[in-house]
Amino acid sequence: MAKSPCIRAIPQIFNYKPRNEHDVRKHLTGFEGKEEAEKRHKSLLKFLKKYQPLDSDLITRLSRCRRNHRCRLQSCPMCMRRLRIWFCDQVAPLISAVPREWLWVTLIPERHCHPEGSLAEFKPQNLIEDLRRALRSHGIKDIVICGAIDYCMEIRKTVEFTPLYHWVPHCHLLVRISSKQQSLLRTAFSTNLPSSTLVDRPVHIAPLKSDGFEILRPISYCVKARFNSVYVPPRSESKPKAKRKKQRMHGRHQAELASFLARNKLKDRLVLIGAKRVQKSIVLSARLHVRKTNARATNFISYTDAFRFDTSW
């Protein structure tokens, strides 16, 4: 098995203590516990040994991940739980000031779907560049996007009843754009992401409804560390809209995804447009035509420059 790209540990960005008011562990009901992440880590190792036994470097590095010696791989459930805590603490201040001015956007670009066994061919940077191009081509500049690429395994039954398995990389994005430009944003994405037989609803844009601590839910969902499969029932005239069913991802798919994610850079997972990561901070780089945002951005930068270390995890 060819393993061309090497394994990459992401930068040591999340060993710090989040602010109390944006600590997702304290305020979000149902946020994954440490034990849950440890359990998933254990079963992932089992799946890797069974389905990707030649990926011994990954297996070794994952199995050595422990307190004060984290592997920092994007396939590690324990390290990714820390990434979620970091991401929530960084993005929440941007949203909490003006939650009603943000949109929740899901994009499913069909051209980036891949059959099972070939996820390594997916290039996250191409997907992100497609988004940037869509915005550029419609003249959208004043926009802030904080989100990430997510992964799903879609299982479809064909007429012959042979299941077809497809990786469906998609984006969950929190977007701030002026209300005047919202319809332009919809046009930009819809033009670039047409619906198809594989993806019937590639663009979903809705106002962000959460506020208070609940804004942590969509933020943490962007970088969720547990991935699912979705069973798509065959369409028939009698059942034109049969329901898709979410199910636990099979071990062999979890292993393939882990092997892929371990070779990703952090910028291959996070989608930051009009915002950027500067060491351990996410800071705004866009200038919005909204006074409040600029004021918030200034406060935000001064806060995040003073991040606090916590090496106890």
Return d(Cα 246, Cα 215) in angstroms, integer: 24
Q: Contact, 173 vs 222, CB < 8 A? A: yes
Give, rounded to a whole angstrom, the gap between the first and last alpha carbons of the chain.
35
Chain residues that interact with Zn ion, rule: CB under 5 A:
65, 70-71, 76, 78-79
CB of 149 to Zn ion, least distance (A): 19
CB of 226 to Zn ion, least distance (A): 15
CB of 22 to Zn ion, least distance (A): 23
Closest Cα partner for 157 from 227, 284, 282, 245?
245
CB of 271 to Zn ion, least distance (A): 22
Closest Cα partner for 117 from 246, 259, 234?
259
Q: Which is nearer to Zn ion, 79 or 219 (CB)?
A: 79
Q: Which is nearer to Zn ion, 52 or 229 (CB)?
A: 52
SS3 state of residue 149: strand
Q: Which is nearer to Zn ion, 71 or 134 (CB)?
A: 71
Q: Which is nearer to Zn ion, 35 or 237 (CB)?
A: 35
CB of 68 to Zn ion, least distance (A): 12
Q: Which is nearer to Zn ion, 166 or 263 (CB)?
A: 263
56-63 vs 34-51: helix axis angle to the nearest 10? Answer: 160
Question: 152-157 and 228-232: which strand pairing?
Answer: parallel
